[in-house]
Structure 1
Amino acid sequence: MAIRVEQKKSTIGCKKNQRDTLRSLGLKRIGDVVVKEDRPEIRGMVDTVRHLVTVEEVSGEAQR
């Protein structure tokens, strides 16, 4: 199982740890999309920036 994370809002005015979290997820600007493995570490990072991103689960075939 994997999750698709898309950045929906800007990091202007956000805390540094939130900007760093987006960068470590691989998101640089609004509209960027990444597909990550659904693991507790990734879920924690997404939870940190939940107000800036949208998340949806994707099946194994859809991520290719």
Structure 2
Amino acid sequence: MAGKMLRMTLVHSPIGHPESHKRTVRALGFRKLYETIVKEDSPSLRGMIAKVRYLLKVEEI
């Protein structure tokens, strides 16, 4: 059985936010606004999501 997957959508622009938050959004794999990415859940991924949670919409699938 595979681990839980997370569907993340970038719903707010990182423009005007701290540089570390912009780098975190890029590290998650986002390139454009409203882009959706599916990744396997992990503690490191959860930490990155927690840092920029105000920019993302996250769903477990």
User: How many residues align structurally?
Assistant: 58
How far apart, CA to CA, are the structure 1 residues paired with 2:31 and 2:50? 17
Q: Which residue of 2 aligns with 1:36?
A: 39
Q: Point out where structure 1 has 5 or more consecutive residues left out of the alignment.
A: 59-64
How do 1:1-64 residues align onto structure 2 when only pairs under 5 Å count? 1-58=4-61
Q: CA RMSD in A?
A: 0.6
Q: Point out where structure 2 has 5 or more consecutive residues left out of the alignment.
A: none
Q: Percent same amino acid at aligned positions?
A: 38
TM-score relative to the length of structure 2: 0.90
* 1:30 positional shift: 1.0
TM-score relative to the length of structure 1: 0.86
The one-letter code matched in structure 2 to 1:36 is: K
Shift >6 Å, 4+ stretches: none
